[in-house]
């Protein structure tokens, strides 16, 4: 289960951080601080999102 979580976390964190950065840039905040904050928030949100995804996938398999 840890290997699945590690693989999903690498994809989920990249996706959510990218979504945050694109959202910040599209709102016109083009300095480094909002971009870093958005990427960090996306990274933190990806932790419970990955946990939820792993639970959903493993529940369907068993």
Q: What's the pLDDT tens digit per position in 28-50?
A: 999 999 999 999 999 999 999 99
Residue 34 and residue 13 in contact, taking contact as beta carbons nearer than 8 Å: no
Domain count, the chain: 1
Q: What was the pLDDT predicted at 61?
A: 75
Q: What's the pLDDT tens digit per position in 14-31?
A: 999 999 999 999 999 999
Does 4 map to a domain?
no
Q: What's this model's pTM, rounded to 2 decimal places? A: 0.85
Instruction: Kindly indicate the confidence band of residue 60, based on its pLDDT and cuts at 50, 70 and 90.
Output: confident
Q: Which residue range forms the structural domain that includes residue 48?
A: 13-55
Beta carbons within 8 Å of 8's beta carbon, 6+ residues apart: 50, 53, 54
Inter-CA distances, 32 with 8, 12, 25, 46, 58, Å: 27, 22, 10, 21, 39
Does 61 map to a domain?
no
CA distance 7 to 50: 9
Does 40 map to a domain?
yes
Residue 44 tokens, joined: 């933190």
Does 50 map to a domain?
yes
């Amino acid at each position: 289960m840890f290997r699945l979580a590690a693989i999903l976390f690498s994809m989920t964190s990249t996706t959510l951080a990218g979504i945050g950065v694109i959202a910040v840039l599209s709102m016109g905040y083009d300095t480094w601080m909002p971009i870093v904050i958005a990427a960090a928030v996306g990274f933190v949100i990806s932790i419970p999102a990955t946990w939820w995804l792993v639970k959903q996938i493993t529940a369907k398999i068993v």
